[in-house]
Amino acid sequence: MTATQSNLAGLSRYIFRAPRWYASLSLALVFAGITGIVAFDSAYPLDDAWRGVFFIGLPTLVASILTAPLDNALGGRMTSHTASLLALVSELVLIVVLLTAGLLSFLLGYTQEFVLDTLIVGLAAIFALRLFVILAISQRKLRSMIPASIQTVAAAILLFIYSGTLTYLQVGGPFLEVFFARPDHTALQLQDSIYPFDFVLLGVICAIHAAAVIGFVRIIDWPWQSSLGVSVLDFIQGFLGHLAGYSRGLEEFFVDIGEEAVVPVTVLSIRRSNGEEKARFVLPMIHPGPMGDIGGGNLPVRLAETADGLSFAPHATAGHDFNLVTEREVGTICETVEDAVDSIEYTDTATNGLRVTEGEATLTGHAIGDGAVLVNTFSPGCADDVEFSVGLTAASKAQSSGLDDVIVVDAHNCNDGLGGGDIGHIVPGSKRSFDMIGAAETAGELLVDQDQKQLHVGTAWDETVWESEDGIGPLGIRVAVFEVDDDRTAYILFDGNNMEPGLREDILDTLDSVDRAEVMTSDTHIVNTVEAENQIGDGIPDGELIGLVQSLVAEAIADLEPVEAGMATERAEVTVFGNDRTETLASTANAMVPMATGLAAVFLFAVFSVSALLFLIAENVPA
C-alpha cells in the first residue's frame, strides 16, 4: 500500500452504519417536540410540544415511512434505516434554518414574512439534500427526485392547509374548506402571510436546487469518468451496499476497471507416509484485498476450505494492483491450486533451515527436493506490500542457482500504521528491493550446495478466542515446524493484516525449542471491513499472543513425523485491479474530497443567492 492508498484507506473513518429506523424516528420526534416548546408560546408546554411534533415531526415521519418503499419501487436500494436517518438529518437542517431565522427576526426586527421566506428556502434545501443522498447511495436516475421530495411535499401540504391558502384560490366548497383550509386550527398565525404564489416560488426554488445538485454530481464525477471510465456513484453505492450486505455492486465496479493478468500459483504439499496430506503451503501471487470478502479479501479461508491438510496461505509479493476484482476469481485460483497439486513429485528429503541477511532484508527458508521456500522480512524496519515485479525477480534469482519452484513469501510482519508519507511499500529500484533480491540469490546458492536429509514436519493450529475486530481472522494462528537432522525451523502464520513493530522480535526471543523461526501474516482483509488499520498486536496484549505461540510451537514439535513433500507451479488467468489502477483510484478519490468541499460551498452560495433574488422579485408580484 502506498501513501496515496493509505490516505484513501483513512477515509474509512467517515463511514458508519445507519442506526435502526426506530431510533432515528424517535430522535426526530423528540427534537420536533423540543423545537415546538421553544417556538410556540401557549399556556401549556405539552401543547407546544404537540404542535412541534405535528408541524415538524409529521413530515419527518411521512418521509421516514415512505421514502424506502417508494425508492425501491422505482429501482433504488434505500433501506428503511437509511431513509429514517436521512429524514432525521433533514429535519435538523430545517430546525436550524427556522431557529436562525427566528433569532435574526428578533435581533434585527424582521417581519414574519422573512421567517416564512426562510422556511420556503429551507424546504427546498432539504429536498436538495435528500436528492443528493439518494443519487449518491441509491440510484442515479432522475426519478430519484420523487422519493427525495416526500419530506418537502408533506411539509408544504401542512403549510397549505393551515395557512388557509385555499381561500385565496376561490375554488371548492364546504368539503374542501373543512379539510384544506384550517387556519383557525393552529397558533402559527399564518393566514394573510402565505399566498398561492409562495408555493409556485417553492417549486421554482426546488427546481433550481435540483439542477444544482445534478450539476454538482456530474462535475465531481467527471474525473472518475475521464481517468477510469466509471462513475464515483457506482463506487459509493457498491461500497454502501457491501456494508449493508445486500449487494455485490462493489465487485461490479471493480470488474469495470479491472485488467486480465497471468499470475503464478505455487504449492508446497506435505504428506504422511500413508499418502494423506498433512499440510499445504499455497502462494498465489495476488493480493488478498481490497476488503472484507470483496474480491480476494477472504482468500486464505477459501484456500483452507479446499485443502485436505492444514492450509498455510501467507502473503505473496503483490500489492493492491493485484487484488482480484470479484470473489468468483478466487474459484479460478483454487482450481489452479488443484492442478498444481496433481503435478507434484514428492521427495522425503530437505536441507537444514538457513537464514540470510542482506541490508534490511532477512530471508529464512529450506530447500525441499528441487524447490525452496523463502520467507522475507524487513523487520525490525517497518514495511508493507512488496511489489509483484520485485518478488518475481527475487524468485528468479533464487532459481538461477538450479532450483525449480521457489516460494517467496512476504512475511508482512512489521508496520507502524498508515501515517506519514512513507509506509514502506517495496517498489522496483528501491534499496530494499535490491536487498531482498540479493538475499534471495545468496539463499538459493547456499541451499543448492547443502546436503538433503530426511524431512520431519509437525503442525499445530488454534482458531483463538479473538475475532476479526481484534485483528485475527477465522484461521487463527498456524504453526509448522520443519526438522532436518535435529535442526528445527518454525514457520508461524497469523491470519491477520501486518503486525505491530517489535512483536515479531518478542515472539522469536521466547522460542528456545527451535533453532530459528519466522512470523508471517496472511494479510487477510476480512479484518479490514471498515477500519483501515487493525494489525496483529494492536488490540490484543502481546503476552497473550506470545503465550499462545509458545504452546503451539511445542504442540507442533510433539507432532513431528517423517513426511514427503513436493512443489509445483501453475499459472492462473484472472482479472485484477490492474497496473496503476489502484493508485489512480486512490489519487482521484483523494483529490475529489477537497475539490468537492470547495465546489459544494460555491454551489450553496450560488443557489441561496438565486433564491434571495427570486424573493426580491416576488415582492413586486401582486398577492
My answer on whether 130 and 166 are in the same domain is yes
Reply yes or no on whether the pLDDT at 7 is more than 60: no
> How buried is residue 318: exposed, middle or buried, by Cβ count under 10 Å (0-12/13-18/19+)?
buried
Asked if residue 120 is part of any domain, the answer here is yes
pTM of the model: 0.74
Q: Is residue 387 part of a domain?
A: yes
Residue listed under C-alpha cell 481517468: 227
Q: CA 410 from chain center: how many Å?
A: 23
Asked whether residue 315 falls in the same domain as residue 289, the answer is yes
Same domain, 129 and 168: yes
CB atoms within 10 A of CB 476: 18
DSSP 347: B
What pLDDT is recorded for position 561? 97
The set of cell numbers assigned to 568 is 509445483
Task: Kindly state whether residue 463 falls inside one of the protein's structural domains.
Answer: yes
Burial class (CB in 10 A: 0-12, 13-18, 19+), 189: exposed
Query: Does 487 fall in a domain?
Result: yes
Q: For residue range 388-443, what is the model confidence (pLDDT) as tens digits? A: 999 999 999 999 999 999 999 999 999 986 554 456 789 999 999 999 999 999 99
Same domain, yes or no: 566 and 606: no
What residues make up the domain containing 225?
A: 20-244+584-618
Q: Are 515 and 489 in contact (CB under 8 A)?
A: yes
Q: Which residue(s) pair with 45 in the sheet?
A: none
Q: CB neighbours of 508 closer than 8 A, spacing ≥ 6?
A: 517, 518, 519
Q: Output DSSP code: residue 97.
A: H
Q: What is the pLDDT of residue 133?
A: 86
C-beta separation of 316 from 282 below 8 A = no
Least confident of 20-29, 114-123, 182-191, 466-475: 182-191
Total structural domains within the chain: 2
Asked if 178 and 293 sit in the same domain, the reply is no
Who wins on pLDDT, 312 or 45? 312
Spatial distance between the Cα atoms of 150 and 67, rounded to a whole number of angstroms? 7
Model confidence at 621, pLDDT cuts 50, 70, 90, reads low
Q: What's the one-letter identity of residue 481?
A: V
Query: Exposed, middle or buried: residue 470 (CB in 10 Å: 0-12, 13-18, 19+)?
Result: middle
- By DSSP bridging, strand 371-377 and strand 361-368 are antiparallel
- Whether 368 is covered by a domain: the verdict is yes
- Name the grid cell of 400: 538461477
Q: How far is CA 92 from CA 34, 87, 195, 595, in A?
A: 12, 9, 26, 26
- The answer to whether residue 184 scores a pLDDT higher than 70 is no
Across all residues in the chain, what is the average pLDDT? 83
* Closest to 459 in 3D by CA, of 440, 443, 475: 475
- At 413 the pLDDT is 94
pLDDT at 141: 81
Say how far apart CA 137 and CA 77 lie, in whole Å. 8
Residues 445 and 591 in one domain: no
Cross-strand pairs, 264 = 571
Same domain? For 306 and 369 the reply is yes
Whether residue 4 lies inside any domain: the answer is no
Residue labelled with grid coordinates 393566514? 191
* Residue 536 DSSP symbol: B
* Residues 216 and 284 grouped into a single domain: no
Phi-psi sector, 451: left (phi>0), alpha (psi -120 to 50), beta: beta
Do 592 and 547 belong together in one domain? no
Residues 200 and 290 occupy one common structural domain:
no
C-alpha cell at 517: 523461526
pLDDT, tens digit (0-9, with 9 covering 90-100), for 554-607: 999 999 999 999 999 999 999 888 776 666 666 676 667 677 777 777 777 777
Q: How many C-beta atoms lie closer than 10 Å to residue 116's C-beta?
A: 18
Clarify whether residues 613 and 545 are in a common domain. Answer: no
Q: Quick count: other Cβ atoms within 10 Å of Cβ 475?
A: 25
Are 222 and 275 contained in the same domain? no
Least reliable range by pLDDT among 238-252, 271-285, 467-481: 238-252
Task: Count how many residues are written for the chain.
Answer: 623
Q: Kind of pairing, strands 277-284 and 310-312?
A: parallel
Query: Tens digit of pLDDT for each residue in 123-157?
Result: 888 999 899 888 887 777 888 899 999 999 998 88
Of residues 115 and 210, the one with the higher pLDDT is 210
- Residue 15 in domain: no
Report pLDDT for 252: 73
Contact between 459 and 485 (Cβ < 8 Å): no
